[in-house]
Amino acid sequence: MLPAGVMEYFELMNAEQSDDGVIKIYLEEKNISPYEYRLEKLHSKGFLPEVEVQDFPIRNHKVLLCIKRRRWEVIRTGEIITRDWTALRERARITSEFGLFLKAVFG
């Protein structure tokens, strides 16, 4: 149901259908350290504000992906960081479907 590759980085938290037929799928980024910070000690600092992205309809029902991206603190420097999705797209072999998903979510 979700684009291939999404579940590698996101956890499905909930799915619901509203009275008007809109299906909302709630995703939270997993607590997996970003590759470029793999040698640093990180501490999860919660999430950025939720973003809603319209996805392809399912059986003629509008679908919204409600996505929460994680943020971390680099213990050594105190810097707050998030995953660099552009770097991930360039470094990894991802499916075109997941690439389109990332582009829709993060620009």
More confident residue, 57 or 24: 24
User: How far is Cα 44 from Cα 10, in angstroms, rounded to an integer?
Assistant: 15
pLDDT at 90 over 90: no
What's the predicted TM-score (pTM) here?
0.77
Question: The tokens 């990894």 sit on which residue?
Answer: 92
Is a pLDDT exceeding 50 seen at residue 91?
Answer: no
The string of pLDDT tens digits covering residues 32-67 is: 999 899 999 999 999 999 988 887 777 888 888 888
How high does pLDDT run on average in the chain? Answer: 82
With a cut of 90, say whether residue 5 has pLDDT above it.
Answer: no
* Residue-range domain boundaries for the chain: 6-84
Distant-in-sequence, close-in-space partners of 37: CB < 8 Å, separation ≥ 6 = 72, 74, 81
Are 106 and 85 in contact by the 8 Å Cβ rule? The answer is yes
Chain length of the chain:
107
Residue 100 CA, distance from chain mean position? 12
